[in-house]
Structure 1
Amino acid sequence: MEKPVVRRLSDTEKDALLVDQAAMIARLVARITELEALVGKVRKNSSNSHLPPSQDGLGRPNRKDEKHKAGKPRPSRPGVSRSLAVEPDRTERRFAEQCPHCETVVTAAEQRRRHGYDHIDLPVVRPAVTRVELFGGRCRCCGKRYRAAPPAGMLPGTPFGAGIRSLLAYLHHSHHVGFERLSRMLGEMFGLSISEGAIANSFRRMQAPLDKAGTLIKAKLLTAPVIASDETTTRVDGITHWQWVFHSDQAVLHQIVPSRGRAAAEQVLGEYRPQIWVSDRYAGQQGLGQTHQVCLAHVLRDVQYAIDSGDSITAPKTRDHLRWAIRVGKRRPSLKDSTLSAYAAKAERGLDALLGFPASHPAGRDLQRQIKAWRNKFFVFMTDRRVPPTNNRSEQEIRPSVVFRKVTNGFRSQWGPAIHAGYRSVTGTARLYGTSAWNAIQALIGGTFALA
């Protein structure tokens, strides 16, 4: 067998090769320096971490400073007018007396309706005051005093009826109107004089019906096979507390406690362990169900942080794979069981491939370590149609309380958190059954609140 011919490089070719290598090394060193500087500058924000948008430190730019993409103008849409009321309270019919053109007198019999519209306005609302006089005397038989019983719903004590108490609770807890503004609003709009202390007493009287409703809601929650949960901070008398929300497809339960620890959730669950628990990857949310589905929206934020840190291979592929899985989850109602099983197997194989590929960037390696730690909790929703791929609904349930905290700056009493948590539990559960918050709180104060 003949040996291959080895050609020796000339000195000029060697010099050219060395120059090329030196240039390549210089480019690589510059790129490494750029990436190292980038890693040091990347900060966590709401798009790549669990931080809320309020902590991004980036103000919203003025509209005139925003760069809008040039494109085709948005097509016009057909005009839509307000539908006429099916049963108007009053109908005003107007007939012409003469022709506006020639001033000929016309009669109603020769006219037909040419135009119809609704004029809508609010009547003047004033509180209805009922003077209750209870008569009595002294019994001529036994000599003891007696007095007539008060009418139903008008017991002595607070002068404010169920309608006013429902309105106070609804405006404060659903629309975040503070006590001082509530007092001024009712005085200016309805002519009702009510002090801030009277408002507070009205809320404190809600404790008993809220506790009763909370017991029913908790019992309904602890029969659910799938429970999702989340938590956020709140302020109670200047001290940080935690508001937890637990919900299923039939119940929503809020709790405000001093701790964020796992014991807060265990106190609600007791001995009950649902089949599937849905939450983020916070340690206090672990081990509360037989199976755990982590929120893929939270995972995607960590993936985005790895991308922002400079990983251009592992993290982008992981992001695309998780987004594909979430899209499949949204299509589950139209997928057959066999098709969904095939998608689940594909999702597992794809994630295994991403974890088996060695990441070249430190951020990519950190991301792989995080994913491996939660490996068996990513695609539970692909094998069980009841499970959501994200915990977004928990965040939606708790968001009104976050707005309440920002507007009111928390609670200034020890009984306030229980009232707010009970109110959010009642209205959140009622919404699952198609009942508005206003109707739910009216039913609660009226003593007719019940779960279907």
Structure 2
Amino acid sequence: MRLTPKDEDDEIIVSKKGLAELRRQAEQAEERAKEIERLRREIAELRRRLQVHENPNVPPSVRNHSPGYARARPLVPSDKRKKPGSKPGHEGVTRPPLTPDQQVALTADRCRKCRSHRLRLRGTETQQEIEVERKRRVTEYTVSVYECLDCGEEVRATLPDGNSPVGYGPQLQTEIVLGKIEERLPYRKLEERLTREGIPSCPATLQAVVWGASEKLQDEEAAILQRLRAAPWVHADESSYRIDGRKVWIWVFCTEVDLLLVIRPSRGREVVEEVLGKEYTGRIVCDGWKGYWGWVLQRCWAHLLRYAKAGAEVSEEGKELYGALCALHEQLTKNGKKVSRRTLARRLREGERVLRELLDRFGRSEAPGIEKVVTYLRNGMPWWLTFLKHRGMDATNNRGERGLREAIVIRKIIGTLRNWKGAKAFARLLSVLGTWKLRGENPSTKLYAALS
């Protein structure tokens, strides 16, 4: 029986059995408190990990496969989601025939079913078989070595083009470089490929070939840099990388026809000054990172819409703001590269008016998820509509992110680069090969010419 004192001086008499029960309850309460605290810490850690995959700065390609993303999908109605694969009635694609190196006529002299020889020709059809001939070619040069009778200098004979014979010819060097950079093969796999062709090699030799090719492309890289500095606008982005396990930053600067990647220890504005120059007068399309402050910017609308979409997942007002921003983006960018300057000026005035109205309307809202979107929108206000002042400029930085994609895929495969020399060679080769592809040129042909 539980007793309560009537006065402060009253005593409570508890039996030994009741005292044991009280102690047991106290121990249980203490254990429950510890368990609750442990679960709170675990929930906080799980939320932190989930935020890595579901924050607005994570691109949709990553968010689509993140835990918990399915509950955010109702923003897109199920009847409007596109199913993967070809749709019914889709016109098929047949491999186009190639110009044959040889033509062979196939005939039959008997029926396969009854073995009869009484056959009548009804027509012919054409089928092609493509095969690769694996054949290595080893050229041995006998190099004459002379001594100059006038000065005593040693003179060695060279090839007709003035170059000296090397261990691997330019075509083989081209295949090694493309295998390493374009096909993302490690040196061990490249060695196995060459071994199948009967070509002896080792990882150190292959690395020397790749680094040597990079050195021969220094002039190409310098030409890309000069064109970027003269461009009216440049897309820029950056992402973390690792060299020998230490965190560094890989930067991309690109236009429609040029791509430059650099790896630096810093994420600060000094990298932008080094690449574009302190006196760069063009515009920079970027995500708004403070390293770009000081130049005329075009803030990326894709980042803004991702922030707004995150807010739309937690409140009705967030959905309303997200819908308004999507509608405005669609209106401002429709046929953007084909409309007249007069139309762009009208869209600029309309966009400024709508953005001010959205800030006035949602600026003081206390709905969940709204404050962060409004702050992000307000902080970038001078730079959301720069693309309407320059015909042909993109409203998003998708081009910059695509320029980084190849390097990011390689980062996910290898984890870290080994040293700075290899990092510079890696960035230069990605830059030059990427530029050739943007210009519609054949990287294999261009690289062979550069290495010849």
TM-score range, shorter chain: 0.7 to 0.9
Shift in alpha-carbon separation, 1:59–1:169, aligned structure 2, 3 A: farther
1:334: Cα distance to partner? 3.9
Q: Deviations over 1:28-69 (max 9, x none)?
A: xxxxxxxxx9xx9695355542136668983699xxxxxx97
1:89: Cα distance to partner? 1.0
Q: 1 CA distance for matches of 2:448 and 2:355?
A: 50
1:132: Cα distance to partner? 0.2
Alignment map for 1:417-432 (pairs within 5 Å):
417-432=423-438
Q: 1:343 aligns with which of 347, 350, 354?
A: 347
Query: Which residue of the partner structure matches residue 303 of structure 2?
Result: 298
Shift in alpha-carbon separation, 1:195–1:330, aligned structure 2, 3 A: farther
Give the TM-score, by structure 1 length. 0.77
Q: 2 CA distance for matches of 1:80 and 1:366?
A: 48
Shift in alpha-carbon separation, 1:440–1:145, aligned structure 2, 3 A: closer
Q: Does the CA contact (< 8 Å) of 2:312 and 2:321 recur in 1? A: no
Shift in alpha-carbon separation, 1:45–1:325, aligned structure 2, 3 A: farther
Query: Which residue of the partner structure matches residue 450 of structure 1?
Result: none
Q: 2 CA distance for matches of 1:230 and 1:426?
A: 18
Instruction: Report the secondary structure of 2:247's partner residue.
Output: strand
Q: Does the CA contact (< 8 Å) of 1:253 and 1:425 recur in 2? A: yes
Q: 1 CA distance for matches of 2:153 and 2:274?
A: 50
Question: Is 1:129 aligned with 2:138?
Answer: yes
Alignment map for 1:308-319 (pairs within 5 Å):
308=313, 310-313=314-317, 315-319=318-322
Q: 2 CA distance for matches of 1:132 and 1:372?
A: 70
Q: 2:379 aligns with which of 362, 373, 382?
A: 373
Paired letter, 2:103: T
Instruction: Report the secondary structure of 2:426's partner residue.
Output: helix
Q: 1 CA distance for matches of 2:232 and 2:145?
A: 58
Q: 2 CA distance for matches of 1:299 and 1:312?
A: 18
Query: Which residue of the partner structure matches residue 320 of structure 1?
Result: 323
1:131: Cα distance to partner? 0.4
Question: Is 1:119 aligned with 2:117?
Answer: no
Q: 2:451 aligns with which of 432, 441, 445?
A: 445
Question: Is 1:184 aligned with 2:192?
Answer: yes
Paired letter, 2:301: L
Instruction: Report the secondary structure of 1:332's partner residue.
Output: coil
Q: What value does the CA root-mean-square deviation take over the aligned residues?
A: 3.4
Q: 2 CA distance for matches of 1:102 and 1:162?
A: 56
Question: Is 1:82 aligned with 2:82?
Answer: no
Q: 1:230 aligns with which of 230, 237, 243?
A: 237
Q: Does the CA contact (< 8 Å) of 2:237 and 2:253 recur in 1? A: yes
Alignment map for 1:42-441 (pairs within 5 Å):
44=51, 46=53, 48-51=55-58, 58=66, 75-85=88-98, 87-97=99-109, 103=116, 113-123=123-133, 125-135=134-144, 149-152=157-160, 155-156=163-164, 158-188=166-196, 190-288=197-295, 291-308=296-313, 310-313=314-317, 315-328=318-331, 329-357=333-361, 358-441=364-447
Corresponding pairs, count: 392
Shift in alpha-carbon separation, 1:145–1:414, aligned structure 2, 3 A: closer
Shift in alpha-carbon separation, 1:334–1:91, aligned structure 2, 3 A: same
Q: 2 CA distance for matches of 1:54 and 1:323?
A: 21
Q: Deviations over 1:226-269 (max 9, x none)?
A: 11100111111221111101112332111111111111111112
Paired letter, 2:304: V
1:437: Cα distance to partner? 3.0
Greater RCO structure (CA 8 Å; 6+ sep): 1
Q: Deviations over 1:174-193 (max 9, x none)?
A: 121111111112212x1211
Instruction: Report the secondary structure of 1:333's partner residue.
Output: coil
Paired letter, 1:317: E
Shift in alpha-carbon separation, 1:117–1:181, aligned structure 2, 3 A: same
Q: 1 CA distance for matches of 2:205 and 2:102?
A: 38
Q: 1 CA distance for matches of 2:441 and 2:111?
A: 52
Query: Which residue of the partner structure matches residue 20 of structure 1?
Result: none
Query: Which residue of the partner structure matches residue 7 of structure 1?
Result: none
Q: Does the CA contact (< 8 Å) of 1:295 and 1:391 recur in 2? A: yes
Q: Does the CA contact (< 8 Å) of 1:426 and 1:441 recur in 2? A: no
Shift in alpha-carbon separation, 1:185–1:98, aligned structure 2, 3 A: closer
Q: Does the CA contact (< 8 Å) of 1:311 and 1:363 recur in 2? A: yes
Q: Does the CA contact (< 8 Å) of 2:312 and 2:322 recur in 1? A: no
Give the TM-score, by structure 2 length. 0.77
Paired letter, 2:417: F
Structure 2 portions without partners, runs of 5+: 1-42, 70-76
